[in-house]
Amino acid sequence: MLEISDLITAVDPRSGHRLPVSRAEVIRLLDEAGDARAARIVAGLPTDRDGLLDPDAVDRLLISVHAELQRLSEELRIGERLVHLLGPLLQAIRATNGPGRYRLVDVGCGLGYAVRWLAATNALGPDVELVGVDLDAALVAEAGRLARAEGLDCHFVHGNAFALPEAATVYISTGVLHHFRGPALTEFFRSQAASPAQAFCHFDIAATRLAPVGAWIFHLARMRHPLGRHDGVASARRAHSDETLLRAADVPGITPLLYEPRGAANPFCTTLRPIIGVRPHLEDPFRRSLGRAARRLVGPDYLIEPTR
């Protein structure tokens, strides 16, 4: 299943410049995927005389949808859930590396809700610089405008999160992983392992049987535009299994850990859960910093079936 928002914008990965998108081509891809409803939604988007999607209209639509999507982050208490893990993670990094200036980079930040929430609460401490990065220039510009209006100490960058002039200490994301499929998912984790980063913590939708139903109910109640409703359900249906995440994140130089795996969580309460990666020398300090909550962490051995 495809998400409309992935198809109606395109960016040159080298230059970051926006590329024109043919509405007919997007409709063809959706029709081939058997998603007639999504094709009808795209057919209603404005174009120029050459049939190319109006970039300004697309930007306004995506900003509107992301603004509504922020409600999901608020209701799921994403900020608090990030701090629950990032606090101990940074504590382990400080204990190992000593005092310094640390940088947290939010990959695919959208309107920057997570970074703005962390900046507003100062929950991670004054030694942590907060940066949001996204390939969508319009979303990044809006994130920066909101941060300035709110007087927050954070900033946003248009571009590739793994090609910043200054390296990240910790990468995070929320609701981004399901956009990467197959080898691209492994490459996503390899890019972080190849960087100087000490750790990552990526929250995404838990692939439970209830996830598509829950997403449909929430987005029907909360989202006004059909695109937001469609992509919300598509996201839940595209969510990666625990096994897929642990295998993809098991790359050289990183110890992958899944927090609250599907088999150990209540499916009625589980919506998002993170895959965490730490440099091997940080695993023990991180577990100690987490305390009793470390019992909810599982590593690659979770995938090995017990033998009788």
Q: What is the pLDDT of residues 263-273, one digit of tens each?
A: 666 655 667 88
Average pLDDT, the chain: 91
Q: What is the pLDDT of residue 269?
A: 60
Tell me the C-alpha distance between 167 and 172, whole Å: 13
Statement: residue 202 has pLDDT above 80:
yes
Tell me the C-alpha distance between 240 and 46, whole Å: 33
Q: What is the pLDDT of residues 221-265, one digit of tens each?
A: 777 888 988 988 888 888 999 999 999 999 999 999 999 886 666
Asked if 103 and 167 count as a contact pair (C-beta separation under 8 A), the reply is yes
Asked if 246 and 236 count as a contact pair (C-beta separation under 8 A), the reply is no
Coil, helix or strand for 112?
coil
pTM, full prediction: 0.91
DSSP notation for 280-292: GGGHHHHHHHHGG
State both tokens at 18.
């926006």
Name the β-bridge partners of 130. Answer: 104
Asked if 112 and 145 count as a contact pair (C-beta separation under 8 A), the reply is no
The model's confidence at residue 23, banded by pLDDT at 50, 70 and 90, is: very high
Half-sphere exposure of 137 (CA within 13 A, CB side): 11
Residue at 95: amino acid letter: A
